[in-house]
């Protein structure tokens, strides 16, 4: 079952997001199996929001384990992602 993963990062900035994303996307293990799509932007209240689509929660958890050291190195605060079932994910072919 596909899932929508939403991460709210209070005080997150575009600069930190871009540096972190550069590290992740250049890692030899990226993209991880099960990764479908990613979007991010300001959350409207001074923080940053990340929304990912994964084939399963297990696929997302495997990614999170690999990415955790990068998040820590970049000084990102620990956050609890919200995982919801996706009834449908439509990708642009």
Question: pLDDT tens-digit profile of 82-92?
Answer: 999 999 999 98
Tell which residue, 85, 72, 59, 60, has the closest CA to residue 16.
72
CA distances from 67 to 25, 36, 47, 93 (A): 10, 16, 20, 27
**What DSSP string runs through 18-36?**
HHHHHHHHTSTTPSPTTEE
Q: Is the pLDDT of residue 63 over 90?
A: yes
Q: What pLDDT is recorded for position 78?
A: 86
Percent of the chain whose predicted confidence (pLDDT) is above 90? 90
Q: Is the pLDDT of residue 76 over 90?
A: no
Within a 10 A sphere around the Cβ of 48, how many other Cβ atoms?
20
pTM strictly above 0.75: yes
Q: Could you tell me the domains of the chain? A: 3-85 (3.30.70.100)
Task: Please compute the mean of the pLDDT values over residues 38-55 and round it to a whole number.
Answer: 96
Task: Please compute the mean of the pLDDT values over residues 39-49 and round it to a whole number.
Answer: 95
Give the H or E element holding residue 14. Answer: helix 14-25
């Amino acid at each position: 079952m596909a899932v929508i993963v939403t991460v709210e990062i209070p005080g997150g900035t575009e600069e930190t997001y871009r540096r972190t994303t550069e590290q992740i996307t250049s890692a030899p293990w990226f993209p991880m199996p099960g990764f479908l799509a990613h979007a991010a932007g300001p959350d409207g209240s001074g923080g940053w929001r990340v929304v990912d689509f994964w084939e399963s929660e297990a696929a997302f958890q495997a990614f999170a384990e690999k990415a955790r050291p990068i998040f820590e190195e970049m000084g990102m605060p620990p956050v609890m992602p919200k995982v919801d079932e996706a009834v449908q994910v439509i990708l642009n072919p």
